[in-house]
Amino acid sequence: MSEIGLFWPDWPLPPGVRAASTTRVGGVSAGAFHGFNLGDHVGDDPSAVAANRVELTQALALPAPPAWLAQVHGRVIAGPDDSPGVRADARYAERPGVVCAVLTADCLPVLLCSDDGREVAAVHCGWRGLAAGIVGCAVARFDATPGAISAWLGPAIGPAAFEVGAEVRDAFTTADSGAGACFVAGNGGRWLADLFGLARRALAAAGVQRVYGGGVCTVADPQRFYSYRRDGRTGRMASLIWRSV
């Protein structure tokens, strides 16, 4: 087994809850996907992806393989009983043994946990999902009140690298005029967007007050992270959260 690189959330989780985020370090994928690619939809050798996924389960001593999603940049929240491969952009679970996971390579992974450790969720936040309200949908799935939920923001494209068109800014400011603070004017009518800041605004609007992580840019660190914006054809990393007991 290769030595895989893991990115551990700096986050005060309750007993019995574990979380982790992977990097591209380790694994058996080759070529454009060199490293620990976990995405089975990007053109990598299926046997390499399968081997990497087995290694992930073993390295983290997961209670079950991750309940992978078919992510579509929407706001559907899958539950613990929805089958792996369901079309959704978040997975929620309120019992042990369900490993909630999302795949990213510039989009923002957001992990959620209730203070009592009973409920967890992993959320895939690209700009479309964020603008569509996926964060609020995920928080609303919890029985816990928003004030009793904490969040962690994983590695994603940073504000110095995320250049977008005016339509992206408009998608956020139409619903939240204050979201304009997360955009800096660039050249030719383009904007630099702060995905971390937009997620923090969405979490605050949903009532989540304790937010950890954020600020680690995938584009800026090609040795550690896959980046779709930087490389085009590339692999995917996973962010996971689960109850072990």
- Average pLDDT value for residue range 234-245: 95
CATH number at 59 reads: 3.60.140.10
pLDDT at position 21 over 90: yes
Asked whether residue 168 is assigned to any structural domain, the reply reads: no
Q: Sign of the CA dihedral 115, 119, 125, 130?
A: negative
pTM of the model: 0.97
* Residue range 136-164, pLDDT digits in tens: 999 999 999 999 999 999 999 999 999 99
Asked whether residue 194 is assigned to any structural domain, the reply reads: no
Residue 12 is classified by DSSP as: -
Asked whether residue 133 is assigned to any structural domain, the reply reads: yes
Q: What does 169-230 look like in DSSP terms, one character per residue?
A: HHHHHTT-GGGGGGEEE-STT-EEE-HHHHHHHHHHHHT--EEEE---BSTT-TTT---HHH
The three-state secondary structure class of 101 is: strand
Other beta carbons within 10 angstroms of residue 200's beta carbon come to 19
Asked whether residue 219 is assigned to any structural domain, the reply reads: yes
Q: Containing domain of residue 73, as a range? A: 6-157+209-243
Q: How many domains does the chain have?
A: 1
pLDDT at 112: 98
Strand segments, DSSP code E, in the chain are 6-7, 17-22, 77-78, 90-93, 100-104, 108-114, 120-125, 149-153, 163-164, 183-185, 191-193, 210-213, 237-243
Asked whether residue 197 is assigned to any structural domain, the reply reads: no
Asked whether residue 27 is assigned to any structural domain, the reply reads: yes
* Residue range 180-232, pLDDT digits in tens: 999 999 889 999 999 999 999 999 999 999 999 999 999 999 999 999 999 99
Asked whether residue 131 is assigned to any structural domain, the reply reads: yes
Give the burial class of 147: count Cβ atoms within 10 A of its Cβ; 0-12 exposed, 13-18 middle, 19 or more buried: exposed
- Average pLDDT value for residue range 12-34: 97
Q: What band does 2 get if pLDDT is binned at 50, 70 and 90?
A: low
pLDDT at position 245 over 80: no
* Residue range 108-133, pLDDT digits in tens: 999 999 999 999 999 999 999 999 99
Asked whether residue 56 is assigned to any structural domain, the reply reads: yes
